[in-house]
Structure 1
């Protein structure tokens, strides 16, 4: 993933903002047809409220089709404008001025303007709002409507990553005069409007005529997005031509897919990582020695080999991935070491250990098998792991952030501060383990406003080390994004921010 430094962003932010609003390289696109997409990660509780989006299904139909954000990460990794045309900052990166596109309308006919931006962002800091984007919006101390198509943001502290943060898939733009109605009916400014929506089942979309992205994106006439959480059923749907593309290839059936001349595997390396967060406020996970012992009870290479079938790499219990600018590849590795795990537990006064681990295919393909591998490898350290197989439907609302130890995944983020602020900053909604560390928090705030590259590298390296040695989350492996599609589909460069071309497949792909 191409990275733009903070210093470079401050110098070129305005220019970057007027690049093409699509990551697709223009090359012989053809329009027409109905694109049938089979996606995992759907839930019966799904809605058009971007604050609640947390998995592939709603991310793809939300910011990838029905709604727009202010900025976007293109397929090549460039920061480009979506509803914002350009942006510029003061030298301290505390005040940002965004120029908005003119002539944009919502699906209900309302013209898009600065009021919509302010109202849409304020949603995330409303009292009682449970939004994972709260850490992005909360540091904005003032939002000013300069004119109908200009918004000025003042931040509590300088943040040269700010335009990157506005690509977040939670930060959808809604019509300010009726946000509840827009959430109820899926009213956005995106290339596709909602014809029908059955949460956790199916979504039908149709192409918007006269859209501002005409000629750059949006090649299908209509789109049918089918929720297929069951991995086997999803692969079968593609092999039997019930859908044109599926997310999250099942590596056990991958050889069958590759043997089919009508199916193509699409694989990219990004920052996706699989996690096993422990709630540090629940014993025994509050004990550092227990957390460290469990980290040494994971046979990481075995998991990469057997769960990912080699489509990934060993990770080291921190969330910064190989596509990040300041990825610390040289940190001491938390390796599989049953004897060290036993020693740590004994030092803490434990004679063995028994813990529950909630697992599900909803967390990631092979989630239950991964838990069973951990169960087997931990047994050599005298650790008894009771694997609880949780249902896929409702996993993110009933298990994640609630059960003491469970499975999860993150796509990673394009900047280190964004990833750390999303899931490791003290008190944020998606801090999976509830882990807090004073030194980590100090570094987080300092690095955010630091413009010197070498100093930032030192700070982000130390933060990765703190997560690895003291954090409440086991991160055993990085996983490539592996999707599959019909050979009838064509595309440009594939983005690596999320599955399905950074969840922009509906906008970017077409029938050959």
Structure 2
């Protein structure tokens, strides 16, 4: 616990940073508190350096983006689209830099039974076209993601919604069963709210309530935006531009040359060298990011349990962490829930490389011949090398894996969620239910393992629904442990490692003390949260 003096100093620093007191007043109060004048001056300079300043054009280089992308938020499937969503749009809630869930377009949210949720909308919020935000806009937008015909990537997220209604300035959601995590789901980047006309929404207009208006969008190339003067939150840059720079070397050279101010997904092999550059600061965050190799269980040979188990036992997990992540992460255990999640099941035995047991399952499967593994560094930095390491270790168990190098452009449209076995990454989600709803429940379009019809998959969907409705934390822990165990054992997901977010920032860029770890680039909201020092 801070002493009274330290608490006072921290409070005055906060006031100076937020321009609530003058520099002179701060120094005088520090001297009065017994701080030497030179020290007080240094503290003032440090605090003022953290004061957000407005202006300038901020350019980000992202390791994502494809010419097949669109501005329609229902289709968003990579990190470039995620950043784009939060530049021009807002969801009802958001994960704050400190990890807490707070209201965004919703001023507040509450429920007595976790089944009926009331989201009171923030007043005075305007869309870029001048229309005032209403409950009808929220209902029309969410309805786009619902229904049997929906192809939205958030279909599984909104599936629990049974009904929506407007009550004054409040949107009332009625769920099929109670869901204590429902407000978290409403922060999903696909669910940015758009203006409606007679219940109809134009998903290709790129018009939202966000801090920046879309000026130009070239899929797979760049997004150019300018500040929304009527934004309901602070946003400091005059312009934000996002560039698709999939090649790691090109991304890092752009940062070193000053062509961009920030990049994501720095290759662990070069992070130390890049960090020595005088104009670069490295920002690393540990969160829920994980790298996967999903096997589609509806396609041969991955419809065979023993074949899937043989491959899971062939993975050199620690070697992947050591050689691909260079220690910037931790081994995974073939389920998507990290130690950062509240209900991580630590009791599931850690799966290790076991050539003999892998050979046993492989022979039991009856399979012979090469198995193709599609990979591209578009999935994650070092994905192709990781696939080669997996092929080498599997060979020790008598399993032949043919690594197929796929083009980076179009990878997420042509390979992921289509080829039977490929490399992938998931940013993870703050809650178990959200992660499962995004990628593992039967109804989601992003079930990239097609794990829906096995006995374990059916039980998984049941237990996820039960946990969603359970309000007792102890019971939820047991249910989520079962869900993780089912994926670990029967599912098609190979999850060998969890990776840190590693970003590079120009020393011209400043940010708050807290930087969100739910997504890269400060929860993918660097455009509105950061500023030039």
The two structures have a TM-score, normalised by structure 2, of 0.88
Distance 1:46 1:349 in 2: 40
Distance 1:446 1:37 in 2: 42
What pairs with 1:158-307 in structure 2 (closer than 5 Å)?
A: 158-177=178-197, 182-213=202-233, 217-307=234-324
1:21 maps to which residue? none
Distance 1:181 1:410 in 2: 29
Offset of residue 184 of structure 1: 2.9
Which of 79, 97, 114 is the equivalent residue of 1:56? 79
Distance 2:515 2:205 in 1: 30
| 2:53 equivalent to 1:37 | no
Offset of residue 438 of structure 1: 2.3
Kept in 2, the 8 Å contact 1:182–1:188? The answer is no
For the pair shown, the structure with the greater C-alpha radius of gyration is 2
CA deviation string 1:169-193 (max 9, x = no partner) = 1001000128988533311100111
- Bigger drift between 307-316 and 197-206 goes to 197-206
Secondary structure of the corresponding residue to residue 242 of structure 2: strand
Distance 1:485 1:158 in 2: 42
Secondary structure of the corresponding residue to residue 204 of structure 2: helix
Distance 1:259 1:430 in 2: 39
Which runs of structure 1 show a deviation greater than 3 angstroms over 4 or more consecutive aligned residues?
178-183
Secondary structure of the corresponding residue to residue 190 of structure 2: coil
Kept in 2, the 8 Å contact 1:38–1:228? The answer is yes
Distance 2:203 2:221 in 1: 18
- Bigger drift between 436-445 and 180-189 goes to 180-189
CA deviation string 1:306-327 (max 9, x = no partner) = 1111110000000101110011
Which of 92, 105, 111 is the equivalent residue of 1:83? 105
2:384 maps to which residue? 368
| 2:134 equivalent to 1:113 | yes
| 2:481 equivalent to 1:461 | yes
2:327 maps to which residue? 310
- Bigger drift between 73-82 and 128-137 goes to 128-137
1:141 maps to which residue? 162
Which of 116, 119, 122 is the equivalent residue of 1:98? 119
2:446 maps to which residue? 430
Distance 1:178 1:59 in 2: 28
Offset of residue 349 of structure 1: 3.4
CA deviation string 1:284-323 (max 9, x = no partner) = 1111111011001110001001111111000000010111
1:511 maps to which residue? 532
Offset of residue 203 of structure 1: 1.3
Distance 1:257 1:476 in 2: 26
Offset of residue 127 of structure 1: 5.4
Distance 2:247 2:139 in 1: 39
What pairs with 1:485-500 in structure 2 (closer than 5 Å)?
A: 485-492=505-512, 493-500=514-521
Distance 1:125 1:490 in 2: 40
Distance 1:496 1:396 in 2: 23
Distance 1:179 1:407 in 2: 39
Distance 1:180 1:274 in 2: 38
1:18 maps to which residue? none
Which of 404, 411, 424 is the equivalent residue of 1:408? 424
Aligned length, in residue pairs:
481
| 2:94 equivalent to 1:72 | yes
Kept in 2, the 8 Å contact 1:185–1:194? The answer is no
Kept in 2, the 8 Å contact 1:47–1:183? The answer is no
Distance 1:238 1:179 in 2: 44
Distance 2:393 2:83 in 1: 36
Distance 1:176 1:54 in 2: 24
List gaps (5 residues or longer) in structure 2: 1-46
2:404 maps to which residue? 388
Offset of residue 278 of structure 1: 0.7
Offset of residue 210 of structure 1: 3.0
Aligned CA distance change for structure 1 residues 274 and 144 (closer, same or farther; 3 Å): same
Which of 39, 45, 51 is the equivalent residue of 1:28? 51
Offset of residue 126 of structure 1: 4.9
CA deviation string 1:179-227 (max 9, x = no partner) = 98853331110011111111111111111113211xxx31111112111
Secondary structure of the corresponding residue to residue 289 of structure 1: helix
Distance 1:348 1:291 in 2: 9
Offset of residue 347 of structure 1: 2.8
Kept in 1, the 8 Å contact 2:362–2:399? The answer is no
Distance 1:227 1:118 in 2: 33
Distance 1:426 1:407 in 2: 21
1:356 maps to which residue? 372
Kept in 2, the 8 Å contact 1:274–1:475? The answer is yes
- Bigger drift between 457-466 and 341-350 goes to 341-350
1:417 maps to which residue? 433
Secondary structure of the corresponding residue to residue 136 of structure 2: helix
Distance 1:508 1:237 in 2: 22
Distance 2:346 2:403 in 1: 31
Distance 1:227 1:504 in 2: 17
Secondary structure of the corresponding residue to residue 170 of structure 1: helix
1:10 maps to which residue? none
